[in-house]
């Protein structure tokens, strides 16, 4: 059996590979990366490093040949770009005879009104259409996505949000990576959908947990989307990112990430890291 992870030099992909290497022999692992030189450390440890670029389908055929179990990690960019890139990856998997596809999707992908969901729905549909056994890893929100807010609090700012009373199922990237590794290296996951999430929390609850970690009160400043945009702009967020951040807040406000599920715990064999413990880990990296 040979397992391949795409995007293996990225933040999530690298964690998946490291988790796999604890239980899977290196000669059964392969990675597909745009810049193989960035994966020389993995090659030195016996991992099969292959060049694979979602924008160059011909590289994907070579990257996926001889692969039994494939993890497609969703790419960055706008929905149109991601639709094209993911479509190229799925088509290459079908052409090369991949026997199982795991895909990092988003919470409630088929029904969600979240602005990120359309790409994931299209990709899930494309994978189903191939007839290849699959597992959709519907990740909620990475706690690491809140690093800029945490840094603001460390600098003395309040926790600023326009998400209202919406809840988010934050969990560490490592927990999501452990779940992906469990599916790739385990059995019984054909044609499964996992809603992966930590315990859904409000903005007040995460701010209170952060306050516990920092040993100080963290006030929450609720604003509308316009004020949120101006505050983020004033904090130095690049102009092109502002609409993206506002859409995230809107999605949270509308409840698109408020999913109660124990799938993450089932896959990794333990509860997701408690929010205070998880925040402590993130704060230590800053």
Q: What is the mean pLDDT of the chain?
A: 97
Per-residue pLDDT tens digits for 90-106: 999 999 999 999 999 99
Which residues, in sequence order, are bridge partners of residue 171? 142
Higher pLDDT residue, 76 or 163? 163
Q: CA–CA distance from 116 to each of 70, 100, 167, 242 (Å)?
A: 23, 24, 17, 15
**Domains of the chain with bracketed CATH:** 3-139 (3.40.50.720), 140-171+198-258+273-286 (3.90.25.10)
pLDDT over threshold 90, residue 78: no
Residues 143-178: pLDDT tens digits?
Answer: 999 999 999 999 999 999 999 999 999 999 999 999
Considering the chain, what percentage of its residues have pLDDT values greater than 70?
100
What Å distances lie between residue 164 and 56, 83, 124, 153, CA to CA?
42, 31, 30, 18
Residue-level pLDDT at 235:
86
Angle, helices 225-234 vs 242-253, to 10°: value is: 140
Helix (H, G, I), strand (E, B) or coil at 222: strand
DSSP 8-state class, residue 219? -
**Global pTM value:** 0.96
How confident is residue 77, by pLDDT bands cut at 50, 70 and 90?
confident
Instruction: Please check the confidence at residue 132 and state whether its pLDDT lies above 90.
Output: yes
- Please give the pLDDT value at position 228: 96
């Amino acid at each position: 059996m040979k397992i391949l992870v795409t995007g293996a030099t990225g933040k999530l992909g690298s964690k998946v590979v490291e988790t796999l290497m604890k239980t899977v022999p290196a000669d059964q692992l392969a990675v597909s990366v745009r810049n193989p030189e960035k994966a020389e450390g993995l090659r030195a440890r016996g991992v099969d490093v292959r060049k694979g670029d979602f924008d160059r389908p011909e590289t994907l055929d070579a990257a996926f040949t001889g692969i039994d179990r494939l993890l497609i990690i969703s790419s960055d960019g706008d929905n149109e770009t991601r639709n094209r890139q993911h479509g190229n990856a799925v088509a290459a998997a079908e052409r090369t005879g991949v026997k199982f596809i795991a895909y990092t999707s988003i919470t409630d992908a088929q029904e969600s009104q979240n602005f990120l969901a359309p790409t994931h729905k299209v990709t899930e549909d494309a994978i189903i259409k191939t007839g290849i056994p699959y597992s959709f890893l519907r990740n909620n929100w990475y706690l690491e996505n809140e690093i800029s807010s945490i840094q603001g609090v460390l600098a003395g700012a309040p926790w600023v949000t326009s998400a209202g009373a919406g809840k988010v199922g934050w969990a560490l990237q490592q927990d999501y990576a452990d779940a992906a590794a469990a599916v790739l290296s385990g059995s019984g996951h054909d044609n499964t959908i996992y809603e992966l999430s930590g315990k859904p929390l409000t903005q007040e609850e995460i701010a209170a947990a952060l306050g516990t970690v920092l040993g100080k009160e963290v006030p929450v400043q609720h604003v509308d989307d316009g004020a949120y945009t101006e505050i983020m702009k004033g904090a130095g967020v690049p102009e092109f990112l502002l609409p993206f951040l506002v859409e995230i807040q809107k999605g949270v406000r509308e409840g698109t990430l408020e999913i109660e599920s124990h799938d993450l715990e089932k896959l990794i064999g333990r509860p997701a890291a408690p929010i205070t413990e998880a925040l402590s880990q993130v704060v230590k990296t800053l």
